Chains A and B, each alone.
Chain A
Amino acid sequence: SAVISQKPSRDICQRGTSLTIQCQVDSQVTMMFWYRQQPGQSLTLIATANQGSEATYESGFVIDKFPISRPNLTFSTLTVSNMSPEDSSIYLCSVRTGLGEQYFGPGTRLTVT
């Protein structure tokens, strides 16, 4: 298994501002992902965070809006830029182990006012 921590756990932000979410894993992992869960909805994959190279974004998500860093195999950040109320969601970091199991962090609950 993998133990994942995220900071902050929650935040309330003004529209037009940006928030950076940190994700720390207790072991080195190759595959790390960022998901979004809008209120009352299921999870949607934002991007795959690649170590040492640019993240791979899913359809509907762009780097200018959700820049991602992955400086090493245990850490990643997701920035939500120029926020609007529609960005209010839970943002979750996730890692995949060599056995194929995928684990999630506790999430960051973002409210944009």
Chain B
Amino acid sequence: SQQGEEDPQALSIQEGENATMNCSYKTSINNLQWYRQNSGRGLVHLILIRSNEREKHSGRLRVTLDTSKKSSSLLITASRAADTASYFCATDPSGGSNYKLTFGKGTLLTVNP
């Protein structure tokens, strides 16, 4: 079953604006990972945030994690047309030896030049 659920499903912004995407999940996790997928291609790993972390940065990306609310957000600052892609969150459930990532349905981000 799909544990992560991204919100919104689609987001359209102008170049230079910030884009925020949210992810909610249902069970306890070891970590949460964000990915980017350009049209019909492979997934690019963006950031992994562990359950004991609250915020991580990588370049123009900022990820937050709130385990009490079972939610995460991905912020892309100063967006560019090249950021146009689908963004997925994936949860790594805690407990046992289950290393199976569960993906949300993704947010389609369109950055207009």
Using a CB–CB cutoff of 8 Å, the interface residues on chain A facing chain B are: 1, 31, 33, 41-45, 48, 58, 90, 92, 96, 99-107, 109
Contact = CB atoms under 8 A, between A and B. Distances in A.
A102 B105 contact: no
Closest CB pairs A-B (n = 10) = A106-B42, A104-B43, A43-B103, A107-B42, A42-B103, A42-B105, A104-B42, A101-B48, A103-B45, A100-B31
A101 B105 contact: no
B51 to A, nearest CB: 11
Interface of B: 2, 30-31, 33, 35, 40-45, 48, 50, 88, 90, 92, 99-101, 103-106
Contacts of A101: 33, 45, 48
B101 A102 contact: yes
A90 B103 CA distance: 15
A75 B56 CA distance: 32
Contacts of B105: 41-42
Secondary structure at chain B's binding surface: helix, strand, loop or mixed? strand
Secondary structure at chain A's binding surface: helix, strand, loop or mixed? strand
A38 B48 CA distance: 25
A84 B78 CA distance: 44
A102 B33 contact: yes
Nearest to A43: B103
A104 B104 CA distance: 16
Given A1-B45, A42-B104, A45-B100, 13 more contacts: A31-B99, A42-B103, A42-B106, A43-B43, A45-B101, A58-B100, A90-B40, A92-B42, A100-B31, A100-B48, A100-B92, A102-B92, A104-B43
